[in-house]
Amino acid sequence: MEFTLDQVALLLSGKVEGDGSKVVNRLDKIQEGKPGGISFLSNEKYEHFIYETNASGVIVSEGFQAKKDIKTTLIRVKDAYAGFTQILEAYAQFTKNGKSGIEEPSYIDSSSTIGEDFYRGAFSYIGKNCKIGNHVKIYPNVTIGDNVTIGDNCILHSGVKICNDVVIGSFCEFHPGTIIGSDGFGFAPLEDGSYKAIPQIGNVIIEDHVSIGANSTVDRATMGSTIIQKGAKIDNQVQIAHNVVIGENTVIAAQAGVSGSTEIGKNCVIAGKAGIVGHLKIADRTTIGANTGITKSVTEPGQTLLGYMGFELKSFLKSYALFKNLPLLQDRLRELEKKQ
Amino acid sequence: MEFTLDQVALLLSGKVEGDGSKVVNRLDKIQEGKPGGISFLSNEKYEHFIYETNASGVIVSEGFQAKKDIKTTLIRVKDAYAGFTQILEAYAQFTKNGKSGIEEPSYIDSSSTIGEDFYRGAFSYIGKNCKIGNHVKIYPNVTIGDNVTIGDNCILHSGVKICNDVVIGSFCEFHPGTIIGSDGFGFAPLEDGSYKAIPQIGNVIIEDHVSIGANSTVDRATMGSTIIQKGAKIDNQVQIAHNVVIGENTVIAAQAGVSGSTEIGKNCVIAGKAGIVGHLKIADRTTIGANTGITKSVTEPGQTLLGYMGFELKSFLKSYALFKNLPLLQDRLRELEKKQ
Amino acid sequence: MEFTLDQVALLLSGKVEGDGSKVVNRLDKIQEGKPGGISFLSNEKYEHFIYETNASGVIVSEGFQAKKDIKTTLIRVKDAYAGFTQILEAYAQFTKNGKSGIEEPSYIDSSSTIGEDFYRGAFSYIGKNCKIGNHVKIYPNVTIGDNVTIGDNCILHSGVKICNDVVIGSFCEFHPGTIIGSDGFGFAPLEDGSYKAIPQIGNVIIEDHVSIGANSTVDRATMGSTIIQKGAKIDNQVQIAHNVVIGENTVIAAQAGVSGSTEIGKNCVIAGKAGIVGHLKIADRTTIGANTGITKSVTEPGQTLLGYMGFELKSFLKSYALFKNLPLLQDRLRELEKKQ
């Protein structure tokens, strides 16, 4: 679909400076702006692009003051980034195919129910005694086991597997290949050195507004529940072990892992590849840097940790700077020894 | 199903102290015990919960001596943990749906055979010339390639992919999304800087009683076989490269990786996120800590290694403690330098 | 199929020394050579095996001079390794089942097209408006979304998921469970501490001759494209975030990860478990060691980096050697302090 810049400004309650009759049908990054596209300028590091861009229009914030001539049309809004996100959403709404109905062959056990206005893709599978809400989209090759509950407005992308007894809230999104409710990794050592599987009879509870990335895995609890609380956002290839609790609005980036029975607080940020050992408690608003290993509970909220066995960010960076300079430190030590 | 505590005691050859007529239908952690549930006390760190728990019954070991009044019913057995595991297994046996038969549509090539008492879920695929044993469960959306052999009593959870020529023993379990027999990562550099794939004509051999976690990957050998020996237990998102050998009863935790042609001994324990470079030999009973990198062969059995380029545990911890204190060490050095 | 060693020599333009009438039907590693198999000797570390091997024949390079008696038949070629690879390819060609045609049930939307000489496995899914070239193999349980373009001679192994709008060149191979085009991980923080998903409206472009390993994930761009350039080879369980560019002929080993908007140059080698933070530029021909964290752009081409926050290889190894010896350094410092 196409819009004039005047129409875009109307949508955003913004003010046009320049030719508002130009037609746009695409969103571009400002450094890649081309005629027919609209961009935004939010980060001042990118300001120099606005003087050269070929974008038909650029959204800027109220306070923006041009330092050179500008040939593109400006749309001034309260907050350029928020404005652009608003268009992005409108655009996504238009372009996302509104899949609905049933593609055959697909499988649903007669004991299971699904609400109104759903999509069940070809080769999707729904086991016994499942209760699935309204407006749920189940893409091709999804497998849902037995006794699964799913709330309203959830999206299960292709190849997602939801195992038995999992309980999912509303407005959750599971990206392709994600697995929820696989068995926890629990084995009892026997006297002959071999191991015996401990039955994993718990489940997984996922609260509302949770998003889980592609090929991530969330294990069921040994007993009780592994819990992902409301609003948590989890990236690709993340591993959440049995009996873990992830707090509200906590964000976990790609390839991070949380070991069994650890409880992570609310509003934490865990960067990529971080690993947290089992049976810990991590306080609210903790930030854990990329590839950081956490080996002890974090009791004070709001800290930032970094390192192989992570500790406070600034201390770590000081130690690491000295680690890089260890050869120099050794030289200084030698110098002193010679003088003895 | 429901049982009285007297019935549970009978099953475990235990002795009831308190009201044995109470009915239970659930297993709970002791700290979450509620009426109608049965718990156990094994770790003395949790002892204080037994004086407050609302569980209908708690399994304790013969030697347990209460330090305060206890309101719940006790079942004394030889070993509380073993007793509880026994109930857990009985419970899992009851609640695990005994899936069997064929769900349609599913696919099996006419040249392949499958034994007695099987389950083939909808959208499961079995290629040519496969020989599959008795009591095998193949969940929905599983793909089995050509010339695959699978022993008795194996479970392939939803979305598992077994590639051509893989040989699997008996009593193996593959959790959702696991991939066995993908091509090894082998490319020959050409003069123009590009790469040419080296055909991977080997296979994967998985011996009896092996368990592999969700979304793990085991590559086929370039030539010969990648081998996972009897009783090995592998967690989620683990990567096993071409021509690797994993020894008997070795345990590998989530997100660990083993590079090509490395041979790992028996009864090793490899913690989460550990990485082992290629062409090494790791002695029996080696323990490798979380996120440890192993860059040299380990010849002496029974060692514990830790660190970015892992070395002996205690030495690593000493060095890491000094790493944290490097700013202090530098201060001391400065102090000495001033005095010169 | 079976060949005489004379026939093999003919194929390789090589010279037979010994009995050329022996029949072989298998390729073996030299240390595992058995009658009926053919091996090769390229690395002199393995030379001692040639005097003991039971292989029917061994391929050696022109210059090879035996130091002891040899009982096996030799085939002398210009380059033993290249010769062996040639046989390997011929062998793979023969043994790879030439899957073709359509297995039912499979799904293709009527608006999509696929070229000549294809394979569409059972339970494979092709959405709307897809254009798929000639000689493409789509294995069982593959899902292809809407508006996807795929060139000629591509192989999509079982369980691969290609999401909407992805553009793929020719001669690409996607190993089982790989996901291309999942949503980027982009969330805008709201005032109440919760997050709102930023629509991910870009796509993924994969150029010719790209190979991507099992269970890897490549996210779509927020806007624009995530790009994997010609000839890049990516191993298992690798994560490529939104808006990343991977340069021509760059190789990335298992479990590595590249964060959002980072651009990696040509002919780089990134070892297993390495992690690269977002918004960086990595120069051509950079080598990044196993488990290395890259936190700054690399501007000078051809460097090798290693370490938790990676720096130049030799410097890192020096610092790490001193890290291991920190207790000794501290002892020396104490000694000096005592003498004050």
Residue-wise pLDDT tens digits, A168-191:
999 999 999 999 999 999 998 888
Do residues C212 and C194 lie in contact, with contact meaning Cβ atoms separated by under 8 Å? no
Q: ipTM of this predicted complex?
A: 0.90
Question: Taking CB atoms and an 8 Å limit, are C128 and A233 in contact across chains?
Answer: no
pLDDT at C99 over 80: yes
Q: Which residues of A touch C329 (CB under 8 A)?
A: 329-330, 333
pLDDT at C258 over 80: yes
For all residues of chain B together, what is the average pLDDT?
A: 94
The answer to whether B331 faces chain A, any CB pair under 8 Å, is no
pLDDT at C96 over 70: no
The answer to whether C329 faces chain A, any CB pair under 8 Å, is yes
- Residue A175 has its nearest CB partner, among C159, C182, C187, at C182
Write the CATH number of the domain with boundaries B3-96: 3.40.1390.10
Q: How many inter-chain contacts (A to B, CB under 8 Å) are there?
A: 171
Give the 3-state secondary structure of residue A36. coil
The answer to whether A320 faces chain C, any CB pair under 8 Å, is yes
Question: Taking CB atoms and an 8 Å limit, are A215 and C219 in contact across chains?
Answer: no
Q: What angle do CA A20, A21, A25 make, to 5 degrees?
A: 100
Give the pLDDT band of residue C206 (cuts 50, 70, 90).
Answer: very high
User: Looking at chain B from residue 288 to 307, which residues have their Cβ under 8 Å from any Cβ of chain A?
Assistant: 290-291, 307
Annotated catalytic residue, options C157, C175, C209, C242? C242
Residue C315 host element (H or E): helix C313-324
Q: Which residues of B touch A198 (CB under 8 A)?
A: 85, 88
Question: Taking CB atoms and an 8 Å limit, are A125 and B140 in contact across chains?
Answer: yes
pLDDT at B95 over 70: no
**Six token digits for residue A21:** 């009759």
Question: Taking CB atoms and an 8 Å limit, are A237 and C239 in contact across chains?
Answer: yes
The answer to whether C231 faces chain B, any CB pair under 8 Å, is yes
When scoring A95, A123, A138, A248 by the number of chain C Cβ atoms within 10 A, the one with the most, hence best to mutate, is: A123
Which string of DSSP letters, residue by residue, matches C268-292?
A: -EE-TT-EE-TT-EE-TT-EE-TT-
pLDDT at residue A87, rounded to an integer = 85
Question: Taking CB atoms and an 8 Å limit, are A177 and B213 in contact across chains?
Answer: no
pLDDT digits (tens, 9 = 90+) for B144-179: 999 999 999 999 999 999 999 999 999 999 999 999
pLDDT at residue B96, rounded to an integer = 63
Give the 3-state secondary structure of residue C333. helix
- Residue A251 has its nearest CB partner, among C187, C275, C339, at C187
Q: In 3D, which of A77, A143, A73 has the Cα closest to residue A106? A: A143
Query: For this structure, is B279 an active site residue?
Result: no
Which residue spans of chain B are classified as CATH 2.160.10.10? 101-316
The answer to whether A182 faces chain C, any CB pair under 8 Å, is no
Q: What is the DSSP letter of A298?
A: B
Q: In 3D, which of A212, A180, C125 has the Cα closest to residue B158? A: A180
Determine the Cα–Cα distance for residues A247 and A238; give it in Å rounded to an integer: 15
Determine the Cα–Cα distance for residues C213 and C231; give it in Å rounded to an integer: 14
The answer to whether B101 faces chain A, any CB pair under 8 Å, is no
Question: Taking CB atoms and an 8 Å limit, are A141 and C161 in contact across chains?
Answer: yes
Question: Taking CB atoms and an 8 Å limit, are B327 and A332 in contact across chains?
Answer: no
Q: In 3D, which of B126, B95, B100 has the Cα closest to residue B113? A: B126
Portion of chain B with pLDDT greater than 70, in percent: 99
The answer to whether B121 faces chain A, any CB pair under 8 Å, is yes
pLDDT at C339 over 90: no
Mean pLDDT of A15-37: 89
The answer to whether A134 faces chain C, any CB pair under 8 Å, is no
The answer to whether C129 faces chain A, any CB pair under 8 Å, is no
Mean pLDDT of A191-220: 95
When scoring B106, B157, B165, B179 by the number of chain C Cβ atoms within 10 A, the one with the most, hence best to mutate, is: B179
Q: In 3D, which of B282, B318, B286 has the Cα closest to residue B303? A: B286
Question: Taking CB atoms and an 8 Å limit, are A159 and C146 in contact across chains?
Answer: no
Mean pLDDT of A75-82: 91
Do residues C35 and C25 lie in contact, with contact meaning Cβ atoms separated by under 8 Å? no
Give the pLDDT band of residue C42 (cuts 50, 70, 90).
Answer: confident
Do residues C283 and C300 lie in contact, with contact meaning Cβ atoms separated by under 8 Å? yes
Q: Which residues of C touch B194 (CB under 8 A)?
A: 209, 231, 248-249
Topology at the third CATH level for domain A101-316: UDP N-Acetylglucosamine Acyltransferase; domain 1 (2.160.10)
pLDDT at C254 over 70: yes
Which residue spans of chain C are classified as CATH 3.40.1390.10? 3-96
B164: closest CA of chain A, how far (Å)? 21
When scoring A309, A326, A338 by the number of chain B Cβ atoms within 10 A, the one with the most, hence best to mutate, is: A309
pLDDT at C119 over 80: yes
pLDDT at B85 over 90: no
pLDDT at residue A192, rounded to an integer = 93
Chains touching B (3+ CB pairs < 8 Å): A, C
Say which residue, A237 or C86, is predicted with more confidence: A237
Q: Which residues of A touch C293 (CB under 8 A)?
A: 273, 290-291
- Phi, psi for residue B25 in degrees, rounded to 5: -140, 20
pLDDT at residue A171, rounded to an integer = 97
- Residue B275 has its nearest CB partner, among C91, C290, C327, at C290
Nearest-Cα residue of chain A relative to residue B248: A194
**Location of structure tokens 């199929």:** C1
The answer to whether A255 faces chain C, any CB pair under 8 Å, is yes
Nearest-Cα residue of chain A relative to residue C216: A215
**Location of structure tokens 């330090």:** B67
A191: closest CA of chain C, how far (Å)? 35
Determine the Cα–Cα distance for residues B69 and B64; give it in Å rounded to an integer: 13
Strand partners, C143: C125, C161
- How many C-beta atoms surround the C-beta of residue A23 within 10 A? 12
Question: Taking CB atoms and an 8 Å limit, are B105 and C105 in contact across chains?
Answer: yes
- Residue C330 has its nearest CB partner, among B123, B224, B329, at B329
pLDDT at residue A28, rounded to an integer = 84
Burial-class residue A1 by CB neighbours within 10 Å (0-12, 13-18, 19+): exposed
Mean pLDDT of A127-149: 97
The answer to whether A286 faces chain B, any CB pair under 8 Å, is no
The answer to whether B313 faces chain A, any CB pair under 8 Å, is no
Determine the Cα–Cα distance for residues A305 and A296; give it in Å rounded to an integer: 11
- Phi, psi for residue B238 in degrees, rounded to 5: -95, 145
For all residues of chain A together, what is the average pLDDT?
A: 94
Question: Taking CB atoms and an 8 Å limit, are B215 and A215 in contact across chains?
Answer: yes
Mean pLDDT of A39-51: 90
Instruction: Please state which of the ranges B43-52, B208-217, C236-245, C287-296 shows the lowest mean pLDDT.
Output: B43-52
Question: Taking CB atoms and an 8 Å limit, are A199 and B92 in contact across chains?
Answer: yes
Do residues B133 and B153 lie in contact, with contact meaning Cβ atoms separated by under 8 Å? yes
Give the pLDDT band of residue B233 (cuts 50, 70, 90).
Answer: very high
Do residues A73 and A18 lie in contact, with contact meaning Cβ atoms separated by under 8 Å? yes
The answer to whether A190 faces chain B, any CB pair under 8 Å, is no
Question: Taking CB atoms and an 8 Å limit, are A255 and B251 in contact across chains?
Answer: no
Q: Which residues of A touch C318 (CB under 8 A)?
A: 326-327
pLDDT at residue A1, rounded to an integer = 60
Annotated catalytic residue, options B157, B175, B209, B242? B242
Burial-class residue C300 by CB neighbours within 10 Å (0-12, 13-18, 19+): exposed
The answer to whether B140 faces chain A, any CB pair under 8 Å, is yes
Nearest-Cα residue of chain C relative to residue B109: C103
Determine the Cα–Cα distance for residues A14 and C7; give it in Å rounded to an integer: 78
B222: closest CA of chain A, how far (Å)? 26
Nearest-Cα residue of chain C relative to residue A88: C199
Q: How many inter-chain contacts (A to C, CB under 8 Å) are there?
A: 176
Mean pLDDT of C156-170: 98
pLDDT digits (tens, 9 = 90+) for A253-300: 999 999 999 999 999 999 999 999 999 999 999 999 999 999 999 999
pLDDT at A26 over 90: no
pLDDT at A89 over 90: no
For all residues of chain C together, what is the average pLDDT?
A: 94
A158: closest CA of chain C, how far (Å)? 7
The answer to whether A159 faces chain B, any CB pair under 8 Å, is yes
pLDDT at residue B73, rounded to an integer = 95
- Residue A213 has its nearest CB partner, among C185, C188, C309, at C185
**Six token digits for residue B4:** 């009285």
pLDDT at residue C95, rounded to an integer = 66
Q: How is the beta sheet containing A15-17 ordered, strand by strand?
A: A15-17, A73-77, A57-61, A37-40, A26-27
